[in-house]
Structure 1
Amino acid sequence: MMRLRAAVLAFALLGTLPALATEIPSAERRSGASFMSSDTKKMQDDDTANPGMLAVLEGETLWTAKQGDAGKACADCHGDAASSMQGAATRYPAFDSKLQHPVDLESRINLCRRDHQQAPPFPAESHELLALTAYVARQSRGLPITTGDDPALAPYIAKGHDLFVQREGQLNLACANCHDDNWDKHLAGAAITQGQPTGYPIYRLEWQAMGSLARRIRGCMTGVRAQAFDFGSDEMVALELYLMSRAHGMTLETPAVRP
């Protein structure tokens, strides 16, 4: 309870600061891993100790499982994920020409389930959806993020940027107040990172579970006492898109481990 009160007080103090929204120079961008303890870094870097790898292994099983009325597996269309999915996660959220708007990787998986497997979509944050997303994203680990290269995404990235610098909630804070203007400081004893989304889905020690970028965003919004965006909403995907484009060129770490 004392830690919660301290966090609320610290958030409130940040809310009195001007929203400078000073973008981080490319040379100064840092993964959240650089703010972690050495023990947590070792846990992430060792696949035998990284708890997120359990989700990856489950995702591999789902990749080859025939599902839905079509009786198809992901592998029936895409083959070996190690080759067919290499680089795929580095460009999401991506523009869907059929839907005429961007979709995140979780939505792409569910669209494939609906359209090709004739199976019901996995619920947001479900064990299965996180596992399959982690497995797909794992194939791009070590590759540079390319999100935002598609010119069709420009207006959606701009919308996401507007959301990033917009103050919200009872504490009157924007994402930029913490992650652009006060990174490498501390809030209630925890390091403020740059919010670079280089490892999602992540295994978060606080959650003792895997979680998506959308879940992390919703947690921040709840922390400033704002109404959180729905999973898959236009606002959520726009903010995810901006964050990923902001990390353009940084290395994908999925499955990352965070405190």
Structure 2
Amino acid sequence: MSVQMVISPRRLARILSFAALGLTLASVAGSLSAFYLSPGEGLLKEMQESFVRLFYLDAEANVPTWYSASALLLCSALLAMIACAKRAQQDPCVRHWTAMAVVFLCLSIDEEAILHEMAIRPLRLALHTDGLLYYAWVVPGAAAVLLFALAHLRFLWRLPPRTRVLFCVAGAVYVGGAIGVEALSGLRAARYGEGDSVYVMIATVEELMEMTGVVVFIYALLDYMGRHLGEVTLRFSAVRPRAAAKRPPSPASAPAALAHN
């Protein structure tokens, strides 16, 4: 049986954008309720706290975290598909597509496993950072982004103009939120803590920028695939060709094989 699925870059980007906007509004609603509503003790308070934990963008292990990790994993899968197509075409840029697929896989794992969050305190103690560098992971993070950009600069220039612009926009929005606005939230957290209303607003902007950057990147990848790769076929086989080739001859074919020998 053959199943054909047509993916529209614009439609998928619209769906992901609505999802990101919905999560942001839910996070804002939960934060406003925490700051300005006092349901007292009991069921209402438990429901309010559960809602905040479930949808607060700056929290971990909740719905926004799952969404972000899944979106980054989708980026990795699309990049891997492009890398496979480029390898079949013997394109010299295949290593760049492969490297980006690995990077986005690592970003997805980090988003779900909060690896960079675990590194903040040890790095802060080691580097003696404060203020804008209160979240000390931004130091190695910024260095990694710079090295990655330099390593892929020629590759970026070789891309079609439309794809190049979309990649640059996606990267600027994502990195601007993940590192730039993160530094601002660190400055606020160092002075007033993470429960401050201004901190919550800054953190919300940061997460929204990250989600927006990923949506733009997914759109850019699908648009590139549609314009320059055409149809991509995924084939799933229950029997590997090598295993089939090494299969022993059936009893019916054994006499013929012996006669030939």
Q: TM-score range by the shorter chain?
A: under 0.3
TM-score by length of 1: 0.25
- Say which structure is richer in helix: 2
Which one scores higher on RCO, CA 8 angstroms, separation ≥ 6? 1
- Say which structure is richer in strand: 1
